[in-house]
Chains A and B, each alone.
Chain A
Amino acid sequence: MTHAAKPAARPLSPHLQVYRLPLAALTSIFHRITGIGLTLGIPLLVWWVASAAYGSEAYAAATGFINSPIGYLLLFGFSVALFFHLCNGIRHLFWDAGMNFEVAETKRTNVMVIVATIALTVVSWFLALV
Chain B
Amino acid sequence: MFASSNLRSALGRARGLGSAKEGLHHWWAQRLTALALIPLTVWFVASLIGLAGAGYDEFILWLENPVNATAMILFLAVALHHAQLGIQVVLEDYVSGHALRTTGVVVVKFVCVGLAAFGIVSTLIVAVGV
Given contacts A49-B72, A53-B125, contact A86 B56 (CB under 8 A): no
Residues 81-121 of B at the A interface (beta carbon under 8 Å)? 83, 86-87, 90, 115, 118-119, 121
B31 touches A93 (CB 8 A): yes
A50 touches B118 (CB 8 A): yes
Chain B residues with Cβ below 8 Å from A82 are 41, 45
B86 touches A59 (CB 8 A): no
A24 at the interface (CB under 8 A from B): no
A36-B90, A53-B121, A56-B56 are known; give 4 further A-B pairs, CB within 8 A.
A36-B86, A50-B118, A82-B45, A92-B34
B38 touches A52 (CB 8 A): no
Residue interface bits B25-47, CB-to-A below 8 A is 1, else 0: 00000010011011001000100
Jot down 7 A-B pairs with beta carbons below 8 A, ordered by A.
A42-B79, A52-B63, A60-B56, A79-B45, A82-B41, A89-B34, A124-B49
Interface size on B, residues (CB 8 A): 31
A128 touches B90 (CB 8 A): no
Bound CA–CA A86/B79 (angstroms): 12
Residues 77-129 of A at the B interface (beta carbon under 8 Å)? 79, 82, 86, 89-90, 92-93, 96, 120, 124, 127-129
Bound CA–CA A30/B48 (angstroms): 24
Bound CA–CA A56/B60 (angstroms): 10
For this complex, into which size category does the number of interface residues on chain A fall? 20 to 34
A86 touches B52 (CB 8 A): no
Bound CA–CA A35/B90 (angstroms): 10
Chain A residues with Cβ below 8 Å from B126 are 49, 52-53
Residue interface bits B60-89, CB-to-A below 8 A is 1, else 0: 100100000000100010011001001100
CB distance from B48 to the nearest CB of A (A): 7
Chain B residues with Cβ below 8 Å from A90 are 38
Residue interface bits A48-72, CB-to-B below 8 A is 1, else 0: 0110110010011000000000000
Residue among A43, A53, A90, A129 with the most chain B CB within 10 A? Answer: A53
A9 at the interface (CB under 8 A from B): no
Bound CA–CA A35/B93 (angstroms): 14
